[in-house]
């Protein structure tokens, strides 16, 4: 019996050593880079560093206009979702609003989920060229191809919003939100 205990202890410590070794193995390295810009702008007359919230109301549409998946209706006016930049300082020459992926974003298509009473309705954002923005992938909202030029210390960064049907919509309210961060280059 005395001879078995040291053998068990030796075997157990050997197995624990192997388990520790395999837990420390790495499968690769993720390298993260980025840039912190020196550019700041006032947004819609709000002081730099102060939240520049914006509320818009889409036009009322009938549920019949959203009767089939993929239908769109009720696009906002060009001035409704404009972010007016002024007093810009720093070296950047272009800007976009980077929409943040969060709990209101559909993880399948990148559109905004409705928390109102209408069913089968989402809201999608469009860039200034009226192309739908996928918030998850940033498709059609890339600073290199979809940005607005900053000139004379200011710019008007324009977006649109519209209803998007996930199927046969029912009448009711539509409500959603998304956070954004201005990105400069």
pLDDT given for residue 17 in this prediction: 53
DSSP secondary structure letter of residue 167: S
Strands (E) across the chain are located at 40-43, 72-73, 81-89, 94-99, 112-113, 121-126, 148-149, 155-165, 180-184
Write out the two tokens for 26.
């790495």
pLDDT given for residue 34 in this prediction: 84
Name the pLDDT band for 92 (thresholds 50, 70, 90): very high
Average pLDDT over residues 76-99: 94
Query: Could you tell me how far CA 92 lies from the centroid of its own chain?
Result: 22
Task: Specify the range with the lowest mean pLDDT, choosing from 28-32, 72-76, 111-115, 159-163.
Answer: 28-32
- CATH class for the region spanning 40-47+70-170: mainly beta
Neighbouring C-beta atoms of residue 95, cutoff 10 Å: 26
What 3-state class would DSSP assign to 147?
Answer: coil
Residue 94 near residue 143, CB atoms below 8 Å: yes
Average pLDDT over residues 61-79: 96
pLDDT single digits (tens) 30-65: 888 887 888 889 999 998 888 999 999 999 999 999
Burial of residue 135 (CB within 10 Å: 0-12, 13-18, 19+) is buried
How far is it, in rounded angstroms, from Cα 78 to Cα 81? 7
Angle at 82 (CA atoms; ends 124, 149), nearest 5 degrees? 105
Q: What Rg value do the Cα atoms of the chain yield, rounded?
A: 26
Q: Tokens 């046969």 sit at which residue? A: 168
DSSP secondary structure letter of residue 2: T
pLDDT given for residue 13 in this prediction: 55
Give me the chain's average pLDDT, please.
Answer: 89
């Amino acid at each position: 019996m005395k001879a078995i205990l040291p053998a068990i202890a030796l075997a157990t410590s050997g197995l624990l050593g192997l388990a520790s070794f395999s837990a420390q193995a790495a499968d690769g390295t993720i390298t993260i880079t980025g840039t912190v810009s020196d550019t700041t702008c006032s947004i819609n007359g709000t002081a730099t560093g102060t939240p520049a919230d914006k509320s818009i109301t889409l036009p009322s549409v009938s549920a019949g206009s959203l009767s089939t998946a993929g239908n769109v209706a009720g696009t906002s006016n060009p001035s409704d979702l404009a972010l007016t930049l002024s007093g810009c300082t720093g070296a950047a020459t272009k800007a976009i609003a980077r929409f943040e992926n969060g709990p209101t974003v559909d993880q399948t298509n990148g559109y905004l989920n409705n928390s109102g009473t209408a069913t089968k309705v989402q809201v999608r954002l469009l860039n200034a060229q009226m192309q739908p923005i996928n918030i998850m992938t940033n498709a059609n909202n890339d600073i290199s191809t979809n940005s607005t030029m900053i000139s004379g210390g200011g710019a008007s960064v324009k977006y649109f919003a519209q209803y998007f049907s996930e199927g046969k919509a029912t009448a009711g309210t539509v409500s959603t939100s998304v956070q954004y961060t201005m990105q400069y280059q």
